[in-house]
Amino acid sequence: MEFRKVLALRGPNIWASFPVIEAWVDLGPWKDRPSDAIPGFTDRLMAWLPGMVEHECSLGERGGFFTRLRSGTYMAHVLEHVVLELQTLAGVDVSFGRARESSEEGVVRVVFKYRDEILARECLDEARLLCLAAAEDTPYDVAAAIARLRDIAEQNLLGPSTNSIVQAARRRNIPWKRLNRYSLVQLGYGVKQKRIRAAETSLTGAIAESIAQDKHLTRSILLAAGVPAPEGYPVRDAADAWETAEYIGVPVVVKPQDGNQGRGVTTNLTTREQVEAAYAAARERSDAVIVEKYIPGHDYRLLIVGGRLAAAARRDPAQVLGDGVHTVRQLVDIANQDPRRAEGHSNVLSKIHIDDIGLHTLADHGLTPDSIPEPGRTVLIRRNANLSTGGTATDVTDQVHPEVAARAVEAARAVGLDVAGIDVIAEDIARPLEEQGGVVVEVNAAPGLRMHLAPSEGRPRDVGQAIVDMLFPPGDDGRIPVAAVTGVNGKTTVTRLLAHILRAAGLFVGMTCTDGIFLDERRIDDDDCSGPISAGMVLSNPSVQAAVLETARGGILRAGLGFDQCQAAIVTNIADGDHLGISDVNTPEDLAQVKRCIVEAVAPDGAAVLNANDPLTVAMAPYCPGRVIYFAIDGTNPVITSHLSAGGAAAFVRSDSIVLAEGACETELTPLDRVPMTRGGRVPFEVENALASIAGAWAMGVPLPVIAQAAATFVTDMNGTPGRFNVLEVRGGTVIVDYGHNAAALRALAESFNAFPHTRRIALYTMAGDRRDSDIILNGQIVGDMVDHAILYEAYTIRGRAPGEIAALMRQGLARGSRVRRIDEVDDPKQAITFALDQIRPGDLLLLQADAIDEAVDLVRQYLKRESHDAPWQPTTVEAVGSSLSFAGATSGRTNFSRPAFAEAGPCAGILLDPPEGAKLW
Amino acid sequence: MCRHPPRSSGGRKTLVTAPARFLRGPNPWSLHPVLELDSPALAARVLELQLLCGCRNLQIHGPAVEYEDEAVARACLQAALSGSPSEPLREFAADILLGPNTRALYDAARRRNIPVRRLGQGSLLLLGHGIHQRRLWGARSDATSSIGESIGWEKPLAKFILAAAGIPTPDGRVVETADDALAALRSIQAPVVVKPESANHGRSVFIGLTTEEEVVAAFQSAALEGESPRVIVERFIPGREHRVLIVGGRLAAATRGDPLYVQGDGIHTVRQLVDEVNLDPRRGPADECPLYPVEFDPVTLAHLTRQGLSPESVVPAGARVLLQRNGNLGVDVTDDVHPANADLCLLAAEAIGLDIAGIDLVVEDISRPITEQGGAVLEVNAMPGLMMHLNPAIGRPRPVDDIILRHLYPNDPAGRIPIVCAVDAPETARALHSALLVQGVRSGLGSSADLLLHPRLEAVVFDVTSASIAAEGLPFELCDVAVMRGPGHPVVRQVSRRVVEPETAVINALAAL
């Protein structure tokens, strides 16, 4: 039994709306051996992991999985349950699991929920070893394995403070993301994000923390703000410590000036020896030591969040109760067996250690670790009450006197902390400090929260929520508008147009797509960025006010979605699919199921924008938690009419105008001849793309006039949407640069070609090697039906095929085509483009299929530059709504193309493309 | 033994045995704080020692001597009394007196008449009074986020965040073993840079390594330098190192580091030539001089080795020997920064979450967009040094101290709340205080200078007496209205904008505020 691959799907995915691990397990020899056919396997498993009795499995009752084991189930299913159980034993209680056969016999996809990826992968490896040991009856140390996994959990899971904040954020539907292996977490997306690290937030000032670190500085600031604090001074050495103690008057406290968590602090010192010993202990922690007045009373911790008291706890030092039988050491060991006590901060309580300070404390009371204290005697192991040194905490939030709370709030404000733990010493927290000589002894930045979250006594307080509520006031869920776009064809154009519309609405837009990552107008990456990592980058960017994320299938399968929720999910089409046969996606239905993930991630108040003409897309509607908006050119499409009659929303074309409708209400948004990308409505697939984007913008609440204006200024030239139906002119012929690489895209192109009157059609075409043979042949056939002259080349993406193989398959298809008369083959992609452009004569129509878009576009630009020295290429910009785009005639025989003709006033007449003979094409 | 009442300002409680007292505000001797002693001779000696310690602008007024820092003045007095040697005193003072960055900010505040007070013996400066208070700690403000600061230290995370903001950063990763360093070398492709993950600017940064031997040696050296053995191997970005200072969303200054060479003469060794370089008066301790002395640290030695030299090699006449590839950041280039580069630096500071940040970037020519030249941002530093901008080795000094103050206080006058001082008129003081409270002004009443540090007060009424002025000085430097009878107290008169009689004080003072 081996793992072919182990994927962490870190966002919503094809299995679940939460992160899961997907392991491709090659069962090897075990594929034919169910659990009941392996002698002793079931009994050993049940003995080793008795907790699995809780797994109900498909039977839906306690012991369900054990029943399945006994009656015979397969190893992959066993593995699924074992890995869930191991995670549970390591401290992560998860129960979601799946085991599904893949298309390859004996290879199973085992899927399970996880919380920490490192831990989950370790549990998976361990589960495999455990299953094999149980099956092969070899020795296996279950306890050691669990201990190791617990250790890994301890190191990698979020600590209790950070976790409480994250959980509070989740309850408020605020997205979150760990930024590093430690406690740094991003809450919210883009411009709305805040960062936290345990109880420290992006609002926590560095200076305030430095002040809180310095206890003497803190005292000065507290006193100036009218907060009672004990008299105290820094001291130079042990002698000075005693001199100062005498000056202040004993008893005193000795502590490091910059310590934290009570380390090196000794309290209630009265003799010179005590003070000097305490000085030495403090000196080990810090170069600077202070001596201050000891104030008797209880030790309280008040948690201030955003200027308000969030919780308060009384803290008692580590102590044990004598029973006349056990020694102090034994009593401590017994206390440490409390399951709530763990090393460090990972649990409610920390273990008690009899260290130097403990020994001193015992000695002060005439005890040693081996003394047997009399029954009922309280033995202090520490004087200070910090939880991290074994103390306990009792919630007293409801008892805090308002004046005490006010002082604590003042203390936090004076030091400058948004979240602060104020240490107060007082006899009674229910009375004002001033009347009982109570004081604030410390102000702590990034205070521990666990004493409030899980006090040893009293009511737990959800202080994580208080912090989240401070960072995100009610109504703010930290989200920015996010749109996800997927589909087989058109998704990059739809993504770009939607981003263009959102930018027109005044937002700083982060966009990811096949062409790269764009922050506003700036392209920061030029690789294919339609995966979850790029999406995550955009959503982590603190400038981004809205995100449009093209979401390709590869990323969804490999790592899940890069976001947890979106306001709009646009599916352009599925048709016959594309890239079939990869990663067990073999049919268009399989592909639809993958792409459906973005529809399932729609927020309840968001919308899915679905192609009403595409049955597999329409079938996604029931999976959308929010509204559905359909789009199609034809408004009488039955899906649309029935949706509208049920009060739903749709976008379609009527009388050459784009119409937005909801129930019986309709708005005519804009005439198609004011949407240049559609060439006056004559390029049907571009009309569909425009409808999809416009419906998406509508769903996101962009005002309709802004949408209309933005649609009028969106240009599908080689700048705006390189490789997506860029129309230009070369020597009186027309060139269309397009990226279309599947049957559906080709058919759409062929359809749009019918609107061009050109007599001779040429196509430069290739396909990537990872397509099925049948797909390549089919594409060849469509090209053969479409053009007179086909030029074949092999791109960089032959992906494992032999040289010439793709061309041969294409030729097979072309041979079935009805129109093609001439076929050329060119080896090199660059030469192929030049060769194709050289073929153009006036009146020709050339389809340049740009496989490597940037390179192809560059080559075309260079070619055109050579063609036209005195008319260098200029980026196309359209500055005014309604100004017409013009492909000016090349009357001089030179090429001018895609330059705006601002001089032409008047209503937009679509694209004017003047061939040399002067005939208007449109 | 004389014990002063405890003060919140962090002064030590023990005082010397001679009759001596600190008058911490305007006083009968001077408008500046003085240490009042029993003889002019002792005062003169204390002045002398203070000047020796590096204190400046101090005067003597008979038995009273002005001081800069209380702890230093006290130590000087003790030394003057005991006749102890002055060298330990100087070291003590150097430890305590403000460092050059904080000093510059302190002086800048004074130039703009913004109240400024140092608290404790660190770099904390309290600016302004009452509700108008702001804080600085070196080039770090009260708006500087602690998390932002630590992201800057965690280089891989900083890189992720910068990349998400579309800022070019060099490819690379953290390695913990020499083998892994070699694997990184292979995946990144030479030349590479090797540096400790936690290193500070420039220390043990090995640049432009190409061979496996160089990378292993650099890894070992870098692993020793940092706090942990985590070492970064990243793509070498050709170009020159620049530091861009961002303050409050604006580019405040930019400095470039140039490579440092020595020219051989066929007679002297590298070491001798370096000694000569170090004679340059601009080279000295980092705090005071714009350039560091050149040392034969592992990075410099690695450069020499690559050139087939050692410190003892005699350099042939005319040969140029590279000592530091990026030298010190010493050349001001503020006016040359291309706007796109300035934008990128602003974005970097914003992405990391810092209001004041030093951006380290490498680019050949800062006057052209770095994205055109394959440049990259290497680091975003919190609490950047200011001296390279205030005192560049070459080029125009930049008033980055003023810019930081302007960031905290954009408008003038800045940082002050109304102050009323009643001299020998406690009832009037109380009445004024009450009248202010009735008007909804959060007023404070008292005689301690610490009142001005209270973060909520909108006005302060000081209740002082002639005796307290003589014994302690005034608790403020300037006040808006003084309440006193007749000609009043001469010191108070000097520091008050307006004087009113107690009988009409409430009406007149309120009208004046």
- Cα–Cα distance for residue pair A906/B380, rounded to 1 Å: 52
- Mean pLDDT, rounded, for A784-795: 88
- Asked if pLDDT for residue A121 goes beyond 90, the answer is yes
Report chain B residues whose CB lies below 8 A from the CB of A537. Answer: 163-164
The dihedral through the CA atoms of B120, B124, B128, B130 has a sign that is: negative
Nearest CA in chain B to A228: B8
Q: pLDDT above 70 covers what percent of chain A?
A: 93
Find all residues with CB under 8 Å of A747, minimum gap 6, and list them: A782
Structure tokens that stand for A411 in this block: 């203390």
Structure tokens that stand for A868 in this block: 């036209």
C-beta separation of A857 from A837 below 8 A? no
- Are the beta carbons of B145 and A234 separated by less than 8 Å? no
CB proximity under 8 Å: A 426-485 to B? 445
What are the φ/ψ torsions at residue B164 (nearest 5 degrees)? -65, -25
Report chain B residues whose CB lies below 8 A from the CB of A413. Answer: 455-456
> Does B119 reach chain A within 8 Å, measured CB to CB?
yes
Choice among A19-23, A39-43, B15-19, B82-86 with the minimum mean pLDDT: B15-19
- Are the beta carbons of B450 and A224 separated by less than 8 Å? yes
> Does B148 reach chain A within 8 Å, measured CB to CB?
yes
* Residue pLDDT tens, chain B, 513 long: 333 333 333 344 444 455 789 999 999 999 999 999 989 999 999 999 999 998 888 999 999 999 999 989 999 998 998 887 778 888 888 888 888 899 999 999 999 999 999 988 888 999 999 999 999 998 999 999 999 998 888 888 888 889 888 899 998 888 988 899 999 888 887 789 888 876 555 567 788 888 888 899 888 888 877 666 788 899 988 888 899 999 999 999 999 988 888 888 888 888 988 888 888 887 877 666 777 788 888 878 888 888 888 888 888 888 888 888 766 778 999 999 999 999 999 999 999 999 999 999 999 999 999 988 989 998 899 999 999 999 898 899 999 999 999 999 999 888 999 999 999 999 999 999 999 999 899 999 999 999 999 988 999 999 999 999 999 999 999 999 999 988 889 999 999 999 998 888 888 777 777
Amino acid A345: pLDDT = 62
CB proximity under 8 Å: B 486-505 to A? none
**Residue in B124, B166, B167 closest to A211 by CB:** B124
Summarize pLDDT for A590-608 with one digit per residue, the tens: 999 999 999 999 999 999 9
- Asked if pLDDT for residue A882 goes beyond 90, the answer is no
> Does B122 reach chain A within 8 Å, measured CB to CB?
yes
- Are the beta carbons of A206 and B145 separated by less than 8 Å? yes
Summarize pLDDT for A538-590 with one digit per residue, the tens: 999 989 999 999 999 999 999 999 999 999 999 999 988 777 878 888 899 99
- Are the beta carbons of A445 and B146 separated by less than 8 Å? yes
What are the φ/ψ torsions at residue B244 (nearest 5 degrees)? -115, 130
The string of DSSP letters for A609-629 reads: EEETT-HHHHTTGGG-SSEEE
Q: Confidence band (pLDDT; 50, 70, 90) for A887?
A: very low
C-beta separation of A38 from A44 below 8 A? no
Choice among A69-73, A339-343, A559-563, B389-393 with the minimum mean pLDDT: A339-343
- Asked if pLDDT for residue A800 goes beyond 80, the answer is no
- Cα–Cα distance for residue pair A510/A499, rounded to 1 Å: 8
- Asked if pLDDT for residue A110 goes beyond 50, the answer is yes
Choice among A41-45, A616-620, B484-488 with the minimum mean pLDDT: B484-488
Looking at chain B, how many residues does it have? Answer: 513
The residue among B96 and A485 whose pLDDT is bigger is A485
The string of DSSP letters for A511-543 reads: EEETTEEEETTEEEE-S---SHHHHHHHHH-TT
Nearest CA in chain A to B126: A221
C-beta separation of B225 from B204 below 8 A? yes
Q: How far is A224 from chain B (nearest CA, A)?
A: 5
Amino acid A893: pLDDT = 30
Amino acid B23: pLDDT = 94
> Does A211 reach chain B within 8 Å, measured CB to CB?
yes
- Asked if pLDDT for residue A891 goes beyond 70, the answer is no
Summarize pLDDT for A504-524 with one digit per residue, the tens: 999 999 999 988 899 888 888
Q: How far is A205 from chain B (nearest CA, A)?
A: 5
Q: How far is A420 from chain B (nearest CA, A)?
A: 14
Helix (H) or strand (E) holding A165: helix A160-171
- Cα–Cα distance for residue pair A808/A814, rounded to 1 Å: 10
> Does A244 reach chain B within 8 Å, measured CB to CB?
yes
Looking at chain A, how many residues does it have? Answer: 922
- Are the beta carbons of A519 and B450 separated by less than 8 Å? no
Amino acid A855: pLDDT = 83
Report chain B residues whose CB lies below 8 A from the CB of A562. Answer: none
Q: Mean of the per-residue pLDDT values for chain A?
A: 87
> Does A71 reach chain B within 8 Å, measured CB to CB?
no
Q: How far is A732 from chain B (nearest CA, A)?
A: 35
Interstrand relation of B320-324 and B260-263 (parallel, antiparallel or unpaired): antiparallel
Q: What is the pTM of this model?
A: 0.83
Q: Confidence band (pLDDT; 50, 70, 90) for A909?
A: very low
Amino acid A881: pLDDT = 30
ipTM given for this complex: 0.84
Report chain B residues whose CB lies below 8 A from the CB of A410. Answer: 456
Q: Which of A522-531, A803-812, B46-55 has the highest mean pLDDT?
A: B46-55
Burial class for A47, CB neighbours closer than 10 Å (0-12, 13-18, 19+): exposed
The residue among A616 and A894 whose pLDDT is bigger is A616
Q: Confidence band (pLDDT; 50, 70, 90) for A869?
A: very low
What are the φ/ψ torsions at residue B185 (nearest 5 degrees)? -55, -45
> Does B245 reach chain A within 8 Å, measured CB to CB?
no
- Are the beta carbons of A223 and B119 separated by less than 8 Å? no
Burial class for A122, CB neighbours closer than 10 Å (0-12, 13-18, 19+): buried
Maximum Cα–Cα distance across chain A:
114
- Asked if pLDDT for residue A903 goes beyond 50, the answer is no
Q: Confidence band (pLDDT; 50, 70, 90) for A84?
A: very high
Q: Confidence band (pLDDT; 50, 70, 90) for A389?
A: confident
Amino acid A878: pLDDT = 32
The letter for the amino acid at A663 is: G
Q: Confidence band (pLDDT; 50, 70, 90) for A914?
A: very low
- Cα–Cα distance for residue pair A362/A920, rounded to 1 Å: 102
C-beta separation of B343 from B294 below 8 A? no
The letter for the amino acid at A140 is: Y
- Are the beta carbons of B8 and A220 separated by less than 8 Å? yes
Amino acid A261: pLDDT = 62
CB proximity under 8 Å: B 363-382 to A? 382
Rg (alpha carbons) of chain B, rounded to whole number: 28
